[in-house]
Copies of this chain bind each other. A is one copy, B any other.
Amino acid sequence: MSIHGSVVPCEIKDLSLAEAGKRRIEWMLQSMPVLASIRKQFIKTQAFSGVRIAARLPVTAAAANLVITLRDSGAKIRVWGSDAHTTEDDVAASLVKDYQVPVFATSVGHDRGELPPLVLADVLAQAPQLLVDHTGELAATAAVAQTTIQSAIVATREGARRLRTLAGDRPLGFPVVASHRSLTRRVFYSRIGIGQSTLDAVSRSMNILIAGLNVVVIGFGKAGRGIAARAKGLGAVVMVTEIDPIRAAEAAMEGYRVLSMTEAAGIGGVFLATSSSRNVIGREHYDKLRNGAILANAGHSDVELDMGTLAQIAGSRKQIRSEVEEWVMRDGRRIYLLAGGRSIRQAMDEALPASVLDLTFANRALSAEYLVKSHESLPAEVYGVPLEIDQQVARLKLEAMGIKIDRLTVEQEQYLASLSE
Chain B CB within 8 A of A278 CB = yes
Within 8 A of B (CB), among A398-421: 398, 401-409, 411-412, 415-416, 419, 421
Within 8 A of B (CB), among A366-421: 390-391, 394-395, 397-398, 401-409, 411-412, 415-416, 419, 421
Contact of A209 among B196, B206, B403 (CB under 8 A): B196
Chain B CB within 8 A of A155 CB = no
Residues B192 and A196 in contact, CB atoms below 8 Å apart: no
**Bound-state Cα–Cα, A24 to B94, Å:** 38
Q: Mark A215-254, 1 if CB is under 8 A from B, else 0.
A: 0000000000000011011111110011111101110111
Chain B CB within 8 A of A150 CB = no
Residues A406 and B246 in contact, CB atoms below 8 Å apart: no
- CB-CB under 8 A for A259 and B403, given A196-B211, A411-B279: yes
Contacting residues, chain B, for A211 (C-beta < 8 A): 192, 195-196, 253-255
- Closest chain-B Cβ to A120's Cβ sits at a distance in Å of 26
Contacting residues, chain B, for A390 (C-beta < 8 A): 246
Chain B CB within 8 A of A320 CB = yes
Residues A249 and B353 in contact, CB atoms below 8 Å apart: no
Residues B243 and A209 in contact, CB atoms below 8 Å apart: no
Residues B401 and A277 in contact, CB atoms below 8 Å apart: no
Chain B CB within 8 A of A66 CB = no
* Chain B, residue nearest A28 (CB): B207
Contacting residues, chain B, for A276 (C-beta < 8 A): 416, 419
Residues B320 and A278 in contact, CB atoms below 8 Å apart: no
The copy count of this chain in the complex is 4
- CB-CB under 8 A for A249 and B404, given A196-B211, A203-B200, A354-B208: no
Chain B CB within 8 A of A23 CB = yes
Chain B CB within 8 A of A70 CB = no
- CB-CB under 8 A for A250 and B203, given A196-B209, A256-B237: no
* Chain B, residue nearest A208 (CB): B353
* Chain B, residue nearest A387 (CB): B246
Within 8 A of B (CB), among A239-290: 241-246, 248-250, 252-263, 276-280, 290
Residues B31 and A208 in contact, CB atoms below 8 Å apart: yes
- Closest chain-B Cβ to A352's Cβ sits at a distance in Å of 8
- CB-CB under 8 A for A249 and B398, given A243-B408, A411-B278: yes
Chain B CB within 8 A of A18 CB = no
Interface size on A, residues (CB 8 A): 90
Contacting residues, chain B, for A210 (C-beta < 8 A): 196
Residues B234 and A234 in contact, CB atoms below 8 Å apart: yes
- Closest chain-B Cβ to A58's Cβ sits at a distance in Å of 16
Contacting residues, chain B, for A232 (C-beta < 8 A): 233, 255
Contacting residues, chain B, for A204 (C-beta < 8 A): 200, 204
Chain B CB within 8 A of A184 CB = yes
Chain B CB within 8 A of A292 CB = yes
Contact of A246 among B23, B263, B391 (CB under 8 A): B391
* Chain B, residue nearest A23 (CB): B320
Contact of A405 among B236, B245, B292, B356 (CB under 8 A): B245
- Closest chain-B Cβ to A202's Cβ sits at a distance in Å of 11
**Bound-state Cα–Cα, A356 to B235, Å:** 14
**Bound-state Cα–Cα, A415 to B356, Å:** 31
- Closest chain-B Cβ to A204's Cβ sits at a distance in Å of 8
Residues A242 and B353 in contact, CB atoms below 8 Å apart: no
- CB-CB under 8 A for A403 and B253, given A277-B415, A278-B411: no
Given A248-B403, A279-B412, 13 more pairs with CB closer than 8 A: A187-B250, A196-B203, A196-B235, A209-B355, A229-B235, A241-B406, A243-B406, A244-B391, A248-B405, A263-B404, A277-B416, A278-B412, A280-B412
